[in-house]
Amino acid sequence: MKESSGDKERWSKFCPKCGKKTDELFDSLCRACFTKGIRLIDAETLAIPIRVNVCEICGGYFKGKGAGKERTSIEEVVTDAIRKDIRERYGHECNVRVEVLGGNELKDTENRMIVPLRVKAEIKGVEIEERGETAVSLKRGTCERCSRITGGYYAGIVQIRADDRIPADEELTMAEEIAYSRLGDADFISKETKLKEGLDIYVSSMECGRRISRQIVKKLGGGFSESRKLYGKKDGRNVYRVSFSVRLPAFTEGEKVEIGDKVFSVVKVRKEKGIACVDVATGERTFLKKKETNKARRHSRIL
């Protein structure tokens, strides 16, 4: 406390460690002594390395028990562990910031990683900064996603067909691109089968199958329906596999279709038989049988 009478008696408190007179005490010590006693990166606590699961196939990091479902990163596990440790030792209200000094400084040895870092924390009102390193112990295995991919797992099939015609290769290529672009982090495509009448895409989850089907229909037209089949039981619950039947639209009167380098204007669609049309270049009327129209692709929609 400051007193008004003279310089000598200005400070009523002093640090019991170094004897310095000061008005500002932190845990009864002066700022310097208090700061000196603090270890943000505590060697003893960190002698037990931070543990993280790493997938040998995709290289992803996972936390939690077992196969490790929750994806994480070295930065995240290190930050969480350091913050928790500091808060346990210096109080849960401590403001802690951890910066992993990454790049090529991350040393990945067999099962141990040395991670250099900078830690800033505010402890009892004092900002403290420390540089050091910590060890992360790597438990190698295969993540759930990778083991499912390896096992050919799928939960749904997106079946792409077209009404009264065969989807053009361009449509199937687009559908495939849409499928890959709509995968979430945990999703995957385990198999694709090209059939005479279309394409089957085997997907890892029902949600992802639905998302893909919806987007294909949005881009290419038509509609889709779902049907599910009981596949088995897991942990007492029924497990279903879902088929998404995507139907691209049939050719319609007035639209233009391409076969090879020829463009035809559709005059009349005769279901299951073929289409009556006009060759756009010559004006000649012609009838294209089902077999020929199977090679046709939409002119306007695709290009």
Q: Give the span between the Cα atoms of 134 and 197, in whole angstroms.
A: 58
- Using the contact rule CB under 5 A, the part of the chain among 102-110, 144-152, 155-163, 276-284 near Zn ion is 144-152
Instruction: With H, G, I as helix, E, B as strand and everything else as coil, classify residue 241.
Output: strand
Least gap, CB of 141 to Zn ion (angstroms): 9
Least gap, CB of 132 to Zn ion (angstroms): 23
Q: Give the span between the Cα atoms of 158 and 199, in whole angstroms.
A: 8
Alpha helices in 113-205 (DSSP H): 144-150, 169-181
Residue closer to Zn ion, measured from CB, 188 or 244:
188
Q: Is 119 in the site for Zn ion (CB under 5 A)?
A: no
Q: Is 15 in the site for Zn ion (CB under 5 A)?
A: yes
> Per-residue contact track with Zn ion, 243 to 282, x per CB under 5 A?
----------------------------------------
Least gap, CB of 170 to Zn ion (angstroms): 33
Q: Is 120 in the site for Zn ion (CB under 5 A)?
A: no
Q: Give the span between the Cα atoms of 244 and 212, in whole angstroms.
A: 9
Residues 6+ apart with CB under 8 A from 271: 164, 250
**Judged by CB under 5 A, how many residues of this single chain contact Zn ion?**
11
> Per-residue contact track with Zn ion, 36 to 55, x per CB under 5 A?
-------------------x
Instruction: Give the 3-state secondary structure of 25-41.
Output: CECCECHHHHHHCCCCC
Q: Is 58 in the site for Zn ion (CB under 5 A)?
A: yes
- Using the contact rule CB under 5 A, the part of the chain among 76-84, 103-111, 139-147, 236-244 near Zn ion is 139-147
* Cα-based distances in Å from 260 to 61, 211, 268, 283: 50, 33, 20, 17
Q: Is 146 in the site for Zn ion (CB under 5 A)?
A: yes
Q: Is 296 in the site for Zn ion (CB under 5 A)?
A: no
Least gap, CB of 36 to Zn ion (angstroms): 8
Instruction: Select from 9, 10, 18, 226 the one that contacts Zn ion (CB under 5 A).
Output: 18
Indicate the helix (H) or strand (E) that contains 139.
strand 126-141
- The answer to whether 93 and 86 have CB atoms below 8 angstroms apart is no
Least gap, CB of 160 to Zn ion (angstroms): 28
Least gap, CB of 182 to Zn ion (angstroms): 20
Residues 6+ apart with CB under 8 A from 19: none
DSSP string, 47-88: GSPEEEEEETTT--EEESSTT--EEE-HHHHHHHHHHHHHHH
Q: Is 57 in the site for Zn ion (CB under 5 A)?
A: yes
Least gap, CB of 16 to Zn ion (angstroms): 8
- The answer to whether 285 and 267 have CB atoms below 8 angstroms apart is yes
Residue closer to Zn ion, measured from CB, 61 or 244:
61
Binding site for Zn ion (CB under 5 A): 15, 17-18, 20, 30, 33, 55, 57-58, 143, 146
